[in-house]
């Protein structure tokens, strides 16, 4: 999850709360916020707040879950514009167990996962030992071998975790 427009922390907090209110979804863990430079896209964008969470789902197929994430993005004011452009909220489905999927709308695991430090850094915090079903490497191994560009700092002063356990519905 990421945001670089408006109240970045607020967008992430509200998205987690909304995710936790959905029947059949439980938010299990949440990374710290990583502040990062934008990756690609138009120049002059603000820095992103990026985080990752692990959820447990019951009765959700990948396409339906992605559709629900897109609804949460739209509620946060997300308007699709320039590729890799600024956004109030970006929710990506990176992994779903060991599922492999390639459709027009969704690829699992997310193809950018091994190559993007702003994705790997928070993902390692919550799923370090998850093994990529195609590359046969853990997230931790991918992080150790991967890129480091764009990472600015971990925002220890901001906590996404405080209300997660209270608002989950599996």
> Among all residues, which ones are annotated catalytic?
78, 87, 90, 92
Whole-number Å distance between alpha carbons of 7 and 3: 8
Whole-number Å distance between alpha carbons of 146 and 6: 30
Sign of CA dihedral 119, 116, 33, 130: positive
In 3D space, the residue among 125, 146, 153 whose CA is nearest the CA of residue 47 turns out to be: 153
Cis peptide before 109 (omega within 30 of 0): yes
């Amino acid at each position: 999850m990421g945001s670089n427009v408006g109240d970045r922390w607020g967008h992430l907090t509200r998205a987690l709360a909304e995710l936790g209110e959905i029947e059949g979804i439980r938010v299990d863990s949440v990374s710290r916020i990583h502040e990062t430079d934008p990756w690609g896209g138009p120049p002059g964008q603000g820095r992103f707040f990026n985080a990752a969470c692990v959820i447990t789902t019951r009765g959700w197929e990948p396409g339906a879950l992605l559709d629900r994430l897109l609804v949460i993005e739209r509620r946060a004011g997300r308007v699709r514009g320039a590729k890799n452009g600024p956004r109030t909220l970006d929710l990506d489905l990176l992994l779903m167990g060991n599922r492999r999927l390639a459709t027009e709308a969704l690829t699992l695991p997310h193809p950018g996962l091994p190559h993007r430090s702003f994705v790997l850094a928070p993902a390692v915090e919550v799923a370090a030992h998850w093994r990529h079903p195609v590359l046969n490497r853990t997230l931790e191994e991918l992080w150790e071998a991967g890129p480091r560009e764009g990472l600015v700092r971990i925002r220890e002063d901001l906590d996404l975790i405080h209300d997660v356990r209270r608002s989950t519905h599996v």
